[in-house]
A and B are shown apart, each in its own frame.
Chain A
């Protein structure tokens, strides 16, 4: 099935490429199991494109972060093709909503997603340094680490965000590749299980949890850089000296404040694509912080980011009638 989808993707990209500046997609990485972003400008590169559960990266960030598109595209510039999963498409919607992109600027290759693999989880079962090959057979991940062949249920090693996924199918797209996928979750309750689990603990334990989790943070800002909606770029207050929000001190309070800044600037905008958590080298559940804010927005204001191009993010507007949101 993956094979036919891949062929379909190659065919569609080949047809569209003459009208496009480039196509951003996923390609096989050198280590046989991970994928790497590919920027297809030439028909010869099309064969590099791949899809499937290893394609975890959200590529939409490339559209808005340097070196990316020109802020003001030249007259008659060709659109850019991009491959998106369900969650990535929400980032696109949010970017269009906030006018960082126009819909005409992108040609969207929509890929229904059945979940992406979290290699940190696989790494706890298999020694990843010796992996010879990794393939997917239906719902089983087959990893050959040169000694044994591990057969792991895909469902056990998915990225955390995938378990509560409500939008596996792209919300905006020009073409679809493959059959639509069934959502793993259909309700708020089942989408925010991890949030509820932490919320059920007493306040002190929650503080303890975050103190020990964020203690590991090395403030590399990979989460910020990976986030497609962190668009302040070199104006980011985390690094600015005037105003000086954060110092170079290495205490936990600074790490707390950094994650508060990241989360609050995404409040009502975060689409929950999980890029921050995926990018984290210290294995900190950074997306969880934003998930809580997303849940607040959804429960109190009935708003989910990245669903509607016309909608206004709830913290960028107001309703004189709301008393307590």
Chain B
């Protein structure tokens, strides 16, 4: 691939054109949501194009640190999707994942990261319509929030925020 500079990834009809270059990372379980996204594609349901999909074997593989790393380095949104609870291909993977992601979701804002940039959901392989809905809604939400500034790379003038700790 040649480097042609920034290219528009927005659809030609102008939707989401004002926040070009928004990047959303999707972590989809191989057995349900990845299939669901495929179903949506096969059925030709219109979807936003901001999502980059990473296929994972099961949401049980979902390390909350994947989300942390993405958001710290400036990815605009992270969407995790797997099989519905009690429907996991490996029986219990998504039960573990649910606890981890709930705890992580509650923890994110404490570190100053907007928790609205992270969403997890359950979509089965047959729910193409549902997938379209989830992606569209989440994408809209991220477009509303705008680009994620991430964590400042450079040492700034040490902005002093007092917590009264010391």
CB distance from B28 to the nearest CB of A (A): 20
Give the CA-CA distance A320 to B155 in the complex, in Å: 45
Chain A residues near B69 (CB, 8 Å)? 245, 257, 260
B109 near A203: Cβ-Cβ < 8 Å: yes
Q: A198-B163, A320-B86 are in contact. Are A264 and B65 (CB under 8 A)?
A: yes
Which residue on chain B has the smallest CB distance to residue A202?
B112
Q: With a 10 A CB-CB cut-off, give which of A121, A160, A253, A292 has the most chain B CB atoms.
A: A253
Q: How many residues of B contact A (CB 8 A)?
A: 41
Per-residue CB contact flags for chain A residues 309-325 toward chain B (1 = under 8 Å, else 0) read: 00000110011101011
A325 near B99: Cβ-Cβ < 8 Å: yes
A318 near B102: Cβ-Cβ < 8 Å: no
A325 near B102: Cβ-Cβ < 8 Å: yes
A289 within 8 A of B: yes
Per-residue CB contact flags for chain B residues 33-68 toward chain A (1 = under 8 Å, else 0) read: 000000000000000000000000000000111001
CB distance from B18 to the nearest CB of A (A): 23
Chain A residues near B155 (CB, 8 Å)? 215, 252
B85 near A296: Cβ-Cβ < 8 Å: no
Chain A residues near B164 (CB, 8 Å)? 197
Main secondary structure of the interface of A (DSSP, over half): helix
B7 within 8 A of A: no
Q: In the complex, identify which listed stretch (B8-16, B123-131, B134-142, B146-154) lies at the interface while the others stay far away.
A: B146-154
Chain A residues near B2 (CB, 8 Å)? none
CB distance from A152 to the nearest CB of B (A): 16
A44 within 8 A of B: no
A261 within 8 A of B: yes
A142 within 8 A of B: no
- Measured CB to CB, the residues of B under 8 A from A are 63-65, 68-69, 72-73, 85-86, 92, 95-96, 98-100, 102-104, 106-107, 109-114, 150-156, 158-161, 163-166
